């Protein structure tokens, strides 16, 4: 945890103790806290007693272990019910659009389509047009593919089947499934001249505290502007941007 001159040492240390808990270690002994924080036993015991009296942790007297109290369930519910992905994403979209001069958008899954729910237009004279609220297909373009890549297998099969029935074109399912696997492994998707001729899109997934996909961030523009240098930089920008939004939505890597 980052320390600043304005922090109160006792509060700082108590919070450090709370951060010792994890999914892998939901119950801890005094020795565990000492080893994790480097604090002496007397200080740890005093802080644990204060946290226990405030109802933030509970102690199993028989086993001598501590765990977080149900108070954190209530805190989590307050946070979860007030998280708005559009609101949390907008500052990052503005930042990325300013960095890249391109259009940056936030897309979500809706009825086997991807829908843009927020965007910041780029400053270039000729820019990629993204329509808010319009249901775009998932099988064309990076913005759709990055969402589909993180869907359940039955959803992916359903989307592919629907695409075949509606378009009647030849579709290499095996190759497409391999592409989705590559997207999951890479952590991003890059498309050029896919859904729109002459356009590119770089898209990255956004996750919530349950590690579930809740959206995707996309940087898009004219393919002719995307040099190798820009491509590398924009991919990094998009990955970091999605990570920041995911963090705001409660995701812990």
Question: pLDDT at position 78, please?
Answer: 76
User: Which residue in 237, 189, 190, 234 sits closest to 213, CA to CA?
Assistant: 189
pTM flag (> 0.75): no
* Listed range (3-7, 91-95, 174-178, 228-232) with the worst mean pLDDT: 3-7
Can you tell me the mean pLDDT for 95-103? 95
Say how far apart CA 136 and CA 245 lie, in whole Å: 22
* Listed range (28-37, 44-53, 165-174, 198-207) with the worst mean pLDDT: 165-174
Question: pLDDT at position 210, please?
Answer: 86
Say how far apart CA 93 and CA 78 lie, in whole Å: 25
Please say if the pLDDT value at position 1 is more than 60: no
Domain ranges of the chain: 9-79, 83-248
The single-letter DSSP state of residue 205 is E
Task: Report percent pLDDT > 90 for the chain.
Answer: 72
Contacts of 82 (CB under 8 A, 6+ apart): none
**Which pLDDT band holds residue 37 (cuts at 50, 70, 90)?**
very high
Whole-Å CA distances, 248 to 28, 79, 85, 112, 245 = 27, 10, 9, 25, 5
Can you tell me the mean pLDDT for 115-137? 85
Mean pLDDT of the chain: 90
Please say if the pLDDT value at position 223 is more than 60: yes
Please say if the pLDDT value at position 145 is more than 70: yes
Say how far apart CA 98 and CA 122 lie, in whole Å: 8
Task: Report percent pLDDT > 70 for the chain.
Answer: 93
CATH number assigned to the domain covering 9-79: 1.10.10.10
The answer to whether domain 83-248 has CATH 3.30.450.40 is yes
Question: Tens of pLDDT along 156-191?
Answer: 999 999 988 888 667 888 999 999 999 999 999 999
């Amino acid at each position: 945890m980052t320390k600043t001159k304005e922090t109160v040492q006792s509060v700082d240390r108590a919070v450090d103790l709370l951060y010792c808990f994890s999914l892998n270690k939901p119950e801890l002994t005094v020795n565990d806290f000492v080893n994790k924080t480097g604090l002496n036993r007397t200080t740890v015991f005093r802080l644990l007693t204060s946290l226990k009296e405030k109802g933030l942790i509970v102690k199993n007297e028989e086993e001598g272990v501590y765990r977080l109290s149900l108070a954190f369930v209530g805190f989590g519910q307050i946070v979860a019910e007030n998280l708005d992905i559009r609101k949390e994403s907008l500052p990052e979209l503005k930042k990325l659009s300013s960095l890249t001069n391109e259009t940056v958008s936030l897309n979500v899954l809706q009825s086997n389509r991807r829908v843009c729910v927020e965007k910041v237009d780029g400053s270039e004279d000729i820019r990629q047009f993204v329509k808010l609220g319009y249901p775009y297909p998932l099988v064309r373009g990076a913005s759709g593919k990055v969402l589909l890549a993180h869907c359940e297998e039955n959803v992916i099969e359903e989307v592919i089947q629907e695409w075949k029935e509606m378009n009647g074109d030849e579709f290499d399912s095996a190759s497409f499934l391999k592409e989705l696997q590559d997207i999951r492994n890479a952590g991003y998707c890059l498309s050029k001249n896919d859904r729109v001729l002459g356009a590119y899109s770089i898209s990255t997934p956004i996750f919530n505290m349950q590690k579930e996909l809740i959206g995707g961030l996309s940087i898009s523009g004219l393919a002719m502007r995307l040099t190798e240098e820009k491509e590398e930089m924009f991919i990094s920008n998009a990955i970091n941007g999605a990570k920041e939004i995911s963090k705001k939505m409660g995701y812990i890597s």
